[in-house]
A = this chain, B = another copy of it.
C-alpha cells in the first residue's frame, strides 16, 4: 500500500495539508458514517487537526476502517455504484402497489400502506437509507430468529433442540401439527417461537425477561433503545386465538419445559412481537448476523458464531412462511419476514438489509420486500450458491474491479 499516493489523491492546500471536506466526502461516498464508533476519532481529527502527509500516515496506520476505505478494501469497494443500483431497485419496486396490509391483528390494519423504507448496513458499517427508514413498526415474527439465538446462547444447541425441531415442515403444514418427535417443527413457526420464549430466563420475573430481550435488541442494533407498542401488544393479546390454541395444544402434549406457565409465556411472546424498531436499526441487527455475531457499528460480539450459523440455517430454510422453499431456491439467502411488513435479509459476510413495506402477499410476506430481494440477487451474485469464481452473468460487488453495467432483468 502506497500511502503517499493515497494522500495525493486528495486536494492538497498550499500548506501541504489535505482538504478535510474531500476526505469526508471520500468516506461518505464509501457509505461510512463519521459518527460511527469506528470513525469517531477520525472525525475528531479531521475537524481539529491539520492533516499533512505525516499526520495522514499516522491516521491511516491507526484506523483500520479508514485504511480499508481508502484502499478499496471495504466489503463493497465501489459503494457509490452499488448504492446507485439499490436506489434504482427501490424506485422500481416503489411502483408495485399490490398486496394487502395485514389485519390479523386489528391494530396492524390501521397502518399507512404507503410507508416504504430500505436500510442496508454492511459488515464494515457502510450504509444506505432510502425512504421511511425512521418510521417505527412492531417487529412481529422478526423476533423469532433473535429469540432463537437467545435460547441457544442461554442453553446451548442440544438443550434447545430437545424442545424444538430444526427442519422446514413442508408447505401448508399446519402449525398445530407437531413433528414426528412431537415437537414444533422449527423456531420460525409460532409454535416453535412460543417454545423458545418458554426457554428464555425462565426463573426470572416477567419484567426481567422482557428487559433481557430488549437489551439484546439494543446491542444488536448498535445501541439505540427499541420502543414498545403497547396498543399492538394489547391487540395481540385480545386476538390470540391461534396462539392460544397452539399453546394449549403444546401444553396438552406436555412438551414445554417443566414449570412453564403457559399464559405468561404467551404474553411474553406477544411482548417480543410488539417491540418497535425502524429500518435503520434492523439493518444493523441484520448486519450483526451477517458478521458472525459482531455488531459492525460497535465492534461488540453479541452472539457466538455457532449461534449465528444455526440461526441463519433456519432463517434460510424456514424464515419466509410458506414461501420459504421458493425463496431459498430463487433468492438463496437467509431472511425473516413479519406481518407488519418488515423483511430482514442477511447476506452472510457481506451485509444486512431491512425492508419495510406493509402490503403483504397471500403468504404473508411484504410484496415489495420479495420483489426487491429477487431484483437484488438477480443482479448480484449474492445467492448462497452463486459462487464468486468461474461465474458469469451476475455482478460481484465484492470485487473492486467489477463492472456494474446493467443487464436486462427478469423478475416477476
Copies per complex of this chain: 4
Name A residues whose Cβ lies closer than 8 Å to a Cβ of B. 123, 166-174, 176-177, 179-180, 240-242, 244-249, 251-252, 262, 291-294, 301, 305-306, 308-310, 312-314, 316-317, 324-326, 328-329, 332, 334, 348-349, 383-394
Min CB distance A305 to B, Å, is: 4
Say which residue of B245, B328, B383 sits within 8 Å of A248 (CB atoms): B245
Min CB distance A264 to B, Å, is: 15
Min CB distance A39 to B, Å, is: 19
Say which residue of B292, B332, B390 sits within 8 Å of A390 (CB atoms): B292
Contact in complex: A167, B387 (CB < 8 Å): no
A328 and B309 in contact (CB under 8 A), knowing A241-B252, A349-B388, A385-B334?
Answer: no
Say which residue of B246, B349, B390 sits within 8 Å of A305 (CB atoms): B390
A328-B385 Cα distance, complex, nearest whole Å: 14
Contact in complex: B245, A241 (CB < 8 Å): no
Q: List 22 A-B contacts (CB under 8 A).
A: A123-B389, A167-B171, A167-B328, A167-B329, A170-B173, A174-B176, A174-B177, A176-B249, A242-B252, A245-B245, A292-B389, A292-B390, A305-B391, A309-B383, A309-B386, A310-B329, A312-B385, A313-B328, A313-B332, A313-B383, A348-B385, A349-B389
Contact in complex: A180, B171 (CB < 8 Å): yes
Q: Which residues of B contact A387 (CB under 8 A)?
A: 292, 305, 308-309, 348-349
Q: Which residues of B contact A385 (CB under 8 A)?
A: 308-309, 312-313, 316, 334, 348
Contact in complex: B292, A391 (CB < 8 Å): yes
Q: Which residues of B contact A293 (CB under 8 A)?
A: 390
Say which residue of B305, B306, B325 sits within 8 Å of A166 (CB atoms): B325
Contact in complex: A390, B294 (CB < 8 Å): yes
A169 and B172 in contact (CB under 8 A), knowing A123-B389, A241-B251?
Answer: no
- Kindly name the residue among A179, A310, A325, A389 whose own CB sees the greatest number of chain B CB atoms within 10 A: A325
Contact in complex: A252, B248 (CB < 8 Å): no
Given contacts A167-B326, A384-B384, 15 further A-B contacts (CB under 8 A): A167-B324, A168-B325, A170-B171, A171-B180, A241-B252, A245-B249, A245-B252, A292-B387, A292-B389, A305-B392, A305-B394, A312-B385, A313-B332, A348-B385, A349-B388
Q: Give the top 3 A-B pairs by smallest Cβ distance, nearest first.
A: A170-B170, A167-B325, A241-B252
